[in-house]
Amino acid sequence: MLIAVPDLLSPAEVADVRAIIDGAEWVDGNATSGHQSALAKHNEQLPEDGDAAKQAGRLILEALGRSPIFFASALPLKIYPPLFNRYGAGQEFDTHVDNAIRLKRGSDFRIRSDLSITVFLEAPDDYDGGELLIEDHYGVQRVKLPAGHAVVYPSSSLHRVTPITRGRRTASFFWLQSMVRDPEKRRTLFDLDRAVQRLTGELGGKDRSVIELTGVYHNLLRLWADS
């Protein structure tokens, strides 16, 4: 399931994040790569333990906490601290699959990567190329969103970032472990949640059917979720 999260960051929040990260020291993007990714990855990255990544990451985590569509689609249990990368002319990230387990170096924090997230921090008209290509059962999905928008997609999918031919692409990326491991169950809960929200708007929160369907949602979540 691929879900776009529009306006995760406001223009002012994008500007705040960029003010933090643009002047920081960037390093080779393979600082966090596994063996396979290191062969495919050509970009720059903020050191994940640096002050800039931590400060900007907190702003993104706060925005995620305010996003109903993010919570409904991801049902997050644990979120890896946001990382930041940028691609200049000729740089790309060829086809790869994200590591199944992400371990934060120097700590005991680890997650199973169920979902990957990219938060776009550059206006799409400011660069050419740099599309996020995600392969799923319906073919290849091409994603290039406005600054402040995000996309959530399966970490198990084959995906890549196409070469930059003009300008620079800046983004945040990270992974999460969902409370609901099975993607089909997660999709069912997301579809049910959207239907309940729509009916609540049409019928009101006190309608008997709305209350019963809300109960079905929470009972399924109770049945399927880990905590």
Each residue's pLDDT tens digit, 2-30: 999 999 999 999 999 999 999 999 998 77
Average pLDDT over residues 58-68: 97
**Whole-Å CA distances, 130 to 42, 119, 167:** 12, 13, 10
Q: Is 218 annotated as a binding residue?
A: no
**Whole-Å CA distances, 197 to 72, 128, 214, 224:** 11, 38, 9, 21
Average pLDDT over residues 108-112: 94
pLDDT at 94: 94
Q: Is 35 annotated as a binding residue?
A: no
Listed in order, strand segments (DSSP E) in 72-218 are 76-79, 83-87, 92-96, 101-103, 110-112, 115-120, 128-129, 132-136, 139-143, 150-154, 159-161, 164-166, 169-178
**Surface-to-core class of residue 63, CB atoms within 10 Å of its CB (0-12 exposed, 13-18 middle, 19+ buried):** buried
- Can you read off the two tokens belonging to residue 222? 């109770």
| H-state helical runs in 28-177 | 35-40, 51-65, 68-74
Query: Rounded CA gap, 75 and 70, in Å?
Result: 8
Q: Is 149 annotated as a binding residue?
A: no
Q: Are 53 and 84 in contact (CB under 8 A)?
A: yes
Judge whether residue 170 has pLDDT over 80.
yes
Domains of the chain: 3-178 (2.60.120.620), 183-224 (4.10.860)
Query: Rounded CA gap, 227 and 220, in Å?
Result: 14
pLDDT at 31: 61
Query: Rounded CA gap, 123 and 145, in Å?
Result: 8
pLDDT at 1: 87
Each residue's pLDDT tens digit, 123-146: 999 999 999 999 988 889 999 999
Q: Strands 110-112 and 101-103, how do they pair? A: antiparallel
Average pLDDT over residues 198-217: 94
Query: Rounded CA gap, 96 and 156, in Å?
Result: 9
Each residue's pLDDT tens digit, 69-78: 999 999 999 9
